[in-house]
Structure 1
Amino acid sequence: MIEHSNAGAVLRAHAAKAEENDRPAGEALEALREGGVLALRTPLEHGGAWADTETVARELTALGRACPSTSWVAGTCVTAKTLAARAFGGGEFFADPDALFCGSGVPGGRGERVADGVRVTGRWPNVSGCEDAVWVILALMVDGAFSFMLVPTADLVVERTWHMAGMRGTGSHTLVAADVLVPAERIAPAKPFAVNDRMLFAMTALGPVLGAAQGALDAVGAMFASDRKPFMTSYTRMGESPGARHWLAEATYLVHRAEATMLAVAREADTSDLSTEDYPRLHRVLAGAGRDCRAAVELMLDLHGSGGFHTSNVLQRFWRDVAVGSRHPHLNPYLAAENFGTALAG
């Protein structure tokens, strides 16, 4: 599968460039392509891996440890290719198994059937990787029916609207269609998402967030290994402080718990035929893992002190990426708690 050390080194080296440009670095995307990341959910018959949920979770976490934004774009490709395969089967869009896909499940457009296809007009915000993707799958309404369309991204216009505190490098800009003619065979009615697929989709958010927390832990571990000491104390190094050791242990425990939680859910999705009754429980569990990542990074910033917020410090980037990524609807904690409580109450 993926050469983590090589891809990780490339992503790490170009993470600042991705932030600066509000899109993934070209060098990082090439590393994903060469490492097979973009083929994770290309169907086997089209030269891809069609990887299971646990594999996807592990791969995205490993990449997120270096650059959460680029990992997020890889996760969007996983979701988009899964949707494309479910809705359209095979076709020319899978001719290159390593092509980058993007997409949105929000029905931001409307289609009108005409003699030669469907004319589509609409706007889809927050489409991660849209400036670099070759194909895009987008939700829309056609004749009152929730549907998907699959078109070359070049057929749409990109509006650069992604200006965020975290996950800046995802390039989650807005795609616009203005009376675009889409062939009828590129429009398909949406089918209900299986819970197993919904768990896969959730991993595309949690994997990069967990990877970011692990990257932050790497940075703090390096600090403990250095001669840095708690400011305005008589300690000569961080490890001499019982409080610092306790905070480090607690942060590490939270990150490890989030990883164990993620992998347990992934394995359940890979080995069980999940029902709709399973979803509220699993959504609540994964949302808890996202909150563990947030809490862990907060402890790490306590350890580092105000210097951790300097724009040159990698810790503040991981902090911002975790803060934004962990608030994706897949990891929304209050709705997860609400839905789980509703299910328990019958």
Structure 2
Amino acid sequence: MIEILSANAAQTEKQGRPAAPSLEAVRNAGDFALRMPVKHGGTWADATTTVRRLAELGRACPSTSWNVGTSAVAKTLVVTSLGDDLPPAFAADPHAQACGTGVPSGRVERGPDGTRVSGSWKSLSGCEDSVWAAVGVMDGDRFSLALLPVSDLKIEHTWDVAGMRGTGSHTAVAEGVVVPDEWVFPVSLPGPQADFTFYGLTALAPVVGATRGALDLIDGMFASDRKPYMSTYTRMAESPGARHWLGEATRTTLRAERALLALAAEVDSGDLTPADGPRISAEMSAAGRDCRQALELMLDLHGTSGFATSNALQRFWRDVAVGSRHPHLNPYLAAERFGDDRAAS
């Protein structure tokens, strides 16, 4: 399956959404069922299992991994809000892809002709390939989540970004979509700290995976007969300076990976409290910065040819640059949270 994602990564970016063989592969592997309850045919994987899987997918195709993570978050929001009482239509296929956002940019109108949902939600990763959208709405003055069939939404192609281009994070528009009353339900966000941390880790894991994927390319270059430019060495591996650069890139990558897994273990421990939030934000953003730094070191080693559009290294570089600026990972926002917490204490 990983070979399928790698082989289709360039096509995924070119067409702005995961290639059909990649989607089929992750679906057949059960990745869209990671966060569906066992009762409904899923595996309800813990945080460690989920992020390991997302990192593995990201090593091959960060955009596809990102959308699998987005689906996991959307399903988690629905399941943690409704428990076992899931709408039968939603529970019917645990392998169906979902997308979602907690931004309440929709509204609910209840009347004699039913419950209608209208709104516009930006950056809805994977919306073109999803069956369900779990989106934030205001139901009167109450923040809620609406479960909408994507087939009832209009997709506006607004995602034109330097990296994570294959996520298809477009805008979805609902114009008075009629849904059963129970498909609109109150939800508490950010929710428990463990859940909020899990959501952030689903963004960090593809970024860490992408960094690993880039490191695979550099390891391959060192194993080849490529000669360092403007040096007397006949192979990259002969150069002490190049080996030092590679060692630093590897160490920085592994540090980000360790942070990812350590935070996932904290989520699985069940011991997190809101007081841990600012510290966790700082650690996630630091891991994202490590990924960016590792890619810079790798590109130093590879040189300008690493930026050739035919070279997967530059794609990993752009995906990491964009993915690591997600609100859960953005270092500026993490500093804001940490500063606000220190001021309040």
Query: Normalising by structure 1, what TM-score?
Result: 0.96
Deviations 1:194-239, CA, capped at 9 Å, x for gaps:
1111111111101100000000000000000111122122211112
| Distance in structure 1 (CA, Å) of the matches to 2:114 and 2:226 | 65
- How far residue 118 of structure 1 moved from its aligned partner, in angstroms, is 2.3
Written as runs of structure 1 = structure 2, the 5 A alignment for 1:255-334 is 255-334=253-332
Match of 1:169 in 2: 166
Structure 1: unaligned runs, 5 residues or longer: 1-6
CA shift, 1:342, in A, is 2.9
Alignment-derived partner of residue 178 in structure 2: 181
What is the 5 A alignment of 1:47-58?
47-58=41-52
What is the CA deviation profile of residues 287-319 of structure 1, one whole-angstrom value per residue up to 9, with x for unaligned ones?
100100000000000000000000000100000
Q: Determine the C-alpha separation between the residues in 2 that align with 1:190 and 1:114.
A: 22
Per the alignment, residue 144 of structure 2 pairs with: 147
Displacement after TM superposition at 1:88 (Å): 3.0
- Structure 1 runs (4+) deviating above 6 angstroms are none
Contact 1:167 1:320 in 2 (8 A): yes
Identity percentage of aligned residues: 57
Residue 91, structure 1, aligned to residue 87, structure 2: yes
Residue of 42, 61, 80 corresponding to 2:74: 80
2:99 is the alignment partner of 1:102: yes
The residue aligned with 1:160 is: 157
2:231 corresponds to which of 210, 230, 233:
233
Match of 1:223 among 221, 225, 231: 221
**Are the equivalent residues in 2 in contact too, given 1:56–1:203 (CA < 8 A)?**
no
Q: Determine helix, strand or coil for the equivalent of 1:216.
A: helix
2:237 corresponds to 1:244: no
Give the aligned length: 340
Mean CA deviation greater in 319-328 or 89-98: 89-98
Verify: 1:120 aligned to 2:123, yes or no: no
Residue 4 (structure 1) aligns with:
none
Distance 1:191 1:198 in 2: 11
Distance 2:311 2:338 in 1: 38
On the 8 A contact 1:116/1:183 being kept in 2, the answer is no
The letter for the 1-side match of 2:194 is: N
Alignment of 1:35-46 (within 5 A): 35-46=29-40
Unmatched 5+ residue regions in structure 2? none
Contact 2:87 2:183 in 1 (8 A): no
Q: Deviations over 1:10-35 (max 9, x none)?
A: 10011111111101111101101111
Secondary structure at 1:136's aligned position in 2?
strand
Give the Cα–Cα distance (whole angstroms) in 2 for the partners of residues 70 and 46 of structure 1.
24
Q: 2:105 and 2:250 mapped to 1: Cα distance?
A: 41
Distance in 2, matches of 1:166 and 1:313, equals 14
SS of the aligned residue for 1:107 comes to coil
Q: Which stretch of the first structure deviates more once superposed, 109-118 or 121-130?
A: 109-118
Q: What's the TM-score, normalizing by structure 2?
A: 0.96
